[in-house]
Amino acid sequence: MCGIVGYIGTEDAKEILLRGLEKLEYRGYDSAGIAVINDGGVSLFKEKGRIATLRDSVDENEQGTAGIGHTRWATHGAPSQVNAHPHQSNNDRYTIVHNGVIENYSQLRKEHLQNVELTSDTDTEIIVQLVEHFAKEGKSTEAAFRKTLSLLKGSYATALLDNEDPDTIYVGKNKSPLLVGLADGVNVVASDAMAMLQVTNEFVELMDEEVVIVKRDKVTIKTLDGLEVSRDSYIAELDASDIEKGTYPHYMLKEIDEQPYVIRNIITKYKDDNDTIKLDEDIREAVLDADRIYVIAAGTSYHAGLVGKQLIEKIANKPVETHIASEFLYNMPLLSEKPLFIFISQSGETADSRGVLVNIKELGHKSLTITNVPGSTLSREADYTLHTYAGPEIAVASTKAYTAQMAVLAILAVDTAHAGGVEMEFDPLQELAIVANAMETLTDQKESLEQVAREYLSVTRNCFFIGRAMDYHVCLEGALKLKEISYIQAEGFAGGELKHGTIALIEEGTPVIGLATQEHVNLSIRGNMKEVVSRGAYPCLISMEGFEDEGDAIVIPRVHEYLTPLVSVLPLQLISYYAALHRGCDVDKPRNLAKSVTVE
Ligand code: M6R
C-alpha cells in the first residue's frame, strides 16, 4: 500500500528518494511522486504508473539535498497524475505526502476550507490546505501542522515541506507506521525501514499523535500539544541483502525456495538447550489461562489461522475460533468469559486486524500477535508477540510467511499441551525438521510443477481446488495464490460440499486440483474427484507418500498428519507461480493488490 520516504542531508535527494521508493514498490502502488526542496523552492515530479516512469520524468539537473516521496495506492480518487502525491497547498508554500485515510475530510473542508479550490480528489489535499489555512492565520508552520493533525480523524503518516524553510521536514503519524532514521548530519523518514537502509539502520519509532521536526543535525519529537518527548533509537535488524532478489527472476520464487531454511530457523529460535520448546512464560500462562482462543487475521494469514485452529484444538485440546478480521470488526460473536485473542499478520500492519485489536483492548481482553515484523503496530500494541522469523517477504503473494505462521502455531499448540498436562507423542521440533526436508524435495521438482501449470492453467478461465479437513484450508490458500497472481478465477471448496451447488460449474476440461494428504479423508476426496471427472473435469491429484495411487499427478513426501499443510501448499505455490508466468503476469506485483493493507 502507500509508502513514504524523506531525506534531509548533503547528497542528491532525488536519487535517494527514488531508490527508497523502488524499495517500497513491492507494497503495491499505482502512482508515485517526489518533491525536492532547495533555496529556490520546491520541485515537484509525479506520475501515474511505475517508479521507472517517474524516474524518467525527473529533471536530471535537480540538485536539492532534501525532499519527500510517495507511492500511492488509490483510495480517495482514481489513480492519476493529479491524485498522485505530493500535494501542494494553493499558494504552493506547503507540499505534503500522506499514507492512510482521513475519515472526516469532507467535514473539515466544510468547516475550514469553504473558499478553497481543491485540485485533486484526495483526502490528503485537505491536510496541506489546512496547514496553509492555519499558517495564514499567523501560526508558525510547526503550530499550523500540529493544529491540522489534531483535527484529523482516521489514520495518517505524513511528511510536509515548507517552501520558506528548506532545512526542515515536518512529519506526523497516527495509526499508520512511520519511522525517522538517524545518521551523521543526515536524517531520513520512511514508512518502512527497508526504504532507507541505503542511508542508515538506526531508527526512532514514532507513536500515534506525535510530530517530529526533522533537520539535518537534529530530530525533535513532540506531542500534538507541543510537549517534547525523548525516545531511544534502535538498530533495525535487517540486512540490505535480505531484500535483494539475487539471481532469482522473482521474489516469489526466491521466497518459495527459502521455506526449508525458514522452518529450520524457527526450530533453532524456539529450541532450548535441552532440545525442548522455548517460549515466554507469560505467553504460556496467557494461553493456558484462556477458556477460548479467537484467532483474527486476513487473507493468507487467515488461512494459516484456520490450520492453527485445528492444531490448537487437536493438540492442546483448547477451543479456538478463527475469524476474518474485517468481518469480526462489524459482527463480533458472543465472547467467552476469558478469551485470548491471537492476531496473525505477516506485516503486523493490517488495518482490519488492528481495528479488532483496538476494540478488544477496550474490552480489557489479552492479545498475542504472531508476526514477521516484531516492531510492527500489531506487535507493539498486543500484550505479547511471537516472531515467525521468515525474513522480509517482498512478493505480494505470501508464501514463506504462511508456512512460518503455521510452524509457530504448531509450536504454540504443543507448548500449551505440555503446560496443560495433555499427554502426546508429537515432537513438533523433530517433525518440523522432517517438514523442512520434504519442502526441499518439492522445491527441487520445479520442472514437473511448471509442466502441471502449463498443462492445466495456460489458457483456462477458471480452476477449482478441492480437499477435506486441513487439505480444505490449504485449498483455500491455493486458490487465493492462483487468483491473486494469475487472475484465473479460482475457488477452494470442501470436497463434500461440491454436490451442493459448485459441481454445476464443472464443464468439459475444467481443471480441478485435489489434495489428498490427510489419510482419514483420502478415500472420500478421491471419491469427490471421481464425481467431477464424470462431469468432464480435468483432474490433478496431489497425494501423500504412503497412500498414493496410480495416476496421482504429484506425490509429496510423508510428514506428520498435523503438519501436512506446510508441505502440501508448496506445489500449489509453485503451480500458481508458473501459471502467472506463462500467462505473462507481473508475478511480484499483481494488479490492484498491496503487500500491506493499511486501510480498512
Ligand atoms: O500482513 P498480513 O498477513 O496481515 O496480510 C494479510 C493479507 O493481506 C495477506 O495475507 C494477503 O492475503 C496476501 N497477499 C496473500 O498472498
pLDDT, tens digit, 9 for 90 and up, residues 77-134: 888 999 999 999 999 999 999 998 888 989 999 999 998 899 998 889 999 999 999 9
Question: Same domain, yes or no, for 331 and 195?
Answer: no
Does residue 350 carry a pLDDT above 90? yes
79 Cα to the center of ligand 1, angstroms? 22
Q: Which of 347, 408, 474 to mutate to test the pocket of ligand 1 (most atoms within 8 A of CB)?
A: 347
Higher pLDDT, 424 or 9: 9
Does residue 240 carry a pLDDT above 70? no
Is the CB of residue 598 below 6 angstroms from any atom belonging to ligand 1?
A: no
Q: Tell me which residue has its CA closest to atom 14 in ligand 1.
A: 397
Tell me the three cell numbers of residue 84: 498522485
The total number of residues shown for the chain amounts to: 600
Question: Same domain, yes or no, for 432 and 541?
Answer: no
459 Cα to the center of ligand 1, angstroms? 27
Tell me the three cell numbers of residue 440: 526441499
Q: For 451-484, write each residue's pLDDT tens digit.
A: 999 999 999 999 999 999 999 999 999 999 999 9
Residue the block writes with cell 492555519:
134
Question: What pTM was computed for the model?
Answer: 0.79
Question: Same domain, yes or no, for 449 and 352?
Answer: no
Residues recognised as catalytic: 2, 595
Q: Which of 251, 255, 301 to mutate to test the pocket of ligand 1 (most atoms within 8 A of CB)?
A: 301
Residue 145 lies in a domain: yes
Inter-CA distances, 440 with 62, 407, 566, Å = 49, 16, 12
Give the DSSP H/E element, type plus range, for residue 416: helix 400-419
- Edge to edge, what strands does the sheet with 210-214 contain? 87-88, 94-99, 156-162, 165-174, 210-214, 219-223, 228-229
Q: Tell me which residue has its CA closest to atom 12 in ligand 1.
A: 299
343 Cα to the center of ligand 1, angstroms? 12
In this prediction, residue 65 has a pLDDT band, given cuts at 50, 70 and 90, of very high
Does residue 243 carry a pLDDT above 80? no
Question: Same domain, yes or no, for 148 and 165?
Answer: yes
The mean per-residue pLDDT over the stretch 493-500 comes to 92
Residue 397: per-residue pLDDT: 95
350 Cα nearest atom in ligand 1: 4
Residue 97 one-letter amino acid: V
Residue 335 to residue 291: CA distance in whole angstroms: 10
Residue 55: per-residue pLDDT: 95
pLDDT averaged over the chain? 93
* Dihedral, 124, 125, 128, 129 alpha carbons, nearest 10: -140
Q: Are the beta carbons of 203 and 234 closer than 8 angstroms?
A: yes
Percent of the chain past pLDDT 90, that is, above it, reads: 80
Question: Same domain, yes or no, for 466 and 434?
Answer: no
DSSP strand pairing (384-387 vs 538-544): unpaired
CATH code of the domain in which 189 resides: 3.60.20.10
Of 420, 441, 462, the position where a domain reaches its end is 441
596 Cα to the center of ligand 1, angstroms? 7
Number of domains the chain contains: 3
Residue 590: per-residue pLDDT: 86
Of 199, 224, 241, the position where a domain reaches its end is 241
586 Cα to the center of ligand 1, angstroms? 18
Residue 241: per-residue pLDDT: 66
Q: Tell me which residue has its CA closest to atom 4 in ligand 1.
A: 345
Question: Same domain, yes or no, for 88 and 236?
Answer: yes
The Cβ of residue 471 has, within 10 Å, a number of other Cβ atoms equal to 27
Q: Which of 350, 353, 354, 486 to mutate to test the pocket of ligand 1 (most atoms within 8 A of CB)?
A: 350
Q: For 532-573, write each residue's pLDDT tens digit.
A: 999 999 999 999 999 999 999 999 999 999 999 999 999 999
The mean per-residue pLDDT over the stretch 304-321 comes to 97
297 Cα nearest atom in ligand 1: 4
595 Cα nearest atom in ligand 1: 14
Residue 594 lies in a domain: no
Residue 118 lies in a domain: yes
Of residues 441, 525, 395, 293, the one with CA closest to residue 25: 395
Burial of 377 (0-12, 13-18, 19+ CB in 10 A): buried
Residue 448: per-residue pLDDT: 93
Does residue 244 carry a pLDDT above 90? no
593 Cα nearest atom in ligand 1: 14
Is the CB of residue 484 below 6 angstroms from any atom belonging to ligand 1?
A: yes
Residue 316 to residue 288: CA distance in whole angstroms: 10
Question: Same domain, yes or no, for 82 and 193?
Answer: yes
Residue 322 lies in a domain: yes
What value, to the nearest 5°, has the Cα angle with vertex 287 and ends 283 and 292? Answer: 155
Inter-CA distances, 249 with 118, 255, 597, Å = 43, 11, 25
Q: Which residues pair with 340 in a beta bridge?
A: 293, 366
Residue 262 to residue 255: CA distance in whole angstroms: 9
Q: 3-state DSSP: the chain helix, strand, coil percent, rounded to 5?
A: 40, 25, 35
Residue 598 lies in a domain: no
Question: Same domain, yes or no, for 271 and 233?
Answer: no
The mean per-residue pLDDT over the stretch 355-364 comes to 95
Tell me the three cell numbers of residue 574: 509453485
Residue 40: per-residue pLDDT: 82
Question: Same domain, yes or no, for 392 and 450?
Answer: no
Tell me the three cell numbers of residue 140: 508558525
Residue 41 to residue 183: CA distance in whole angstroms: 25
Residue 593 lies in a domain: no
Question: Same domain, yes or no, for 339 and 226?
Answer: no
Residue 237 lies in a domain: yes
Residue 595 lies in a domain: no
Q: For 503-533, write each residue's pLDDT tens digit.
A: 889 999 999 999 999 999 999 999 999 999 9
Is the CB of residue 350 below 6 angstroms from any atom belonging to ligand 1?
A: yes
CATH code of the domain in which 458 resides: 3.40.50.10490
Range of the domain at 421: 246-441
Of 388, 419, 441, the position where a domain reaches its end is 441
Q: For 257-277, write each residue's pLDDT tens digit.
A: 999 999 999 999 999 988 888
Inter-CA distances, 62 with 43, 65, 195, Å = 8, 9, 21
Question: Same domain, yes or no, for 378 and 515?
Answer: no
Residue the block writes with cell 492442546:
316
Question: Same domain, yes or no, for 475 and 430?
Answer: no
Residue 275: per-residue pLDDT: 84
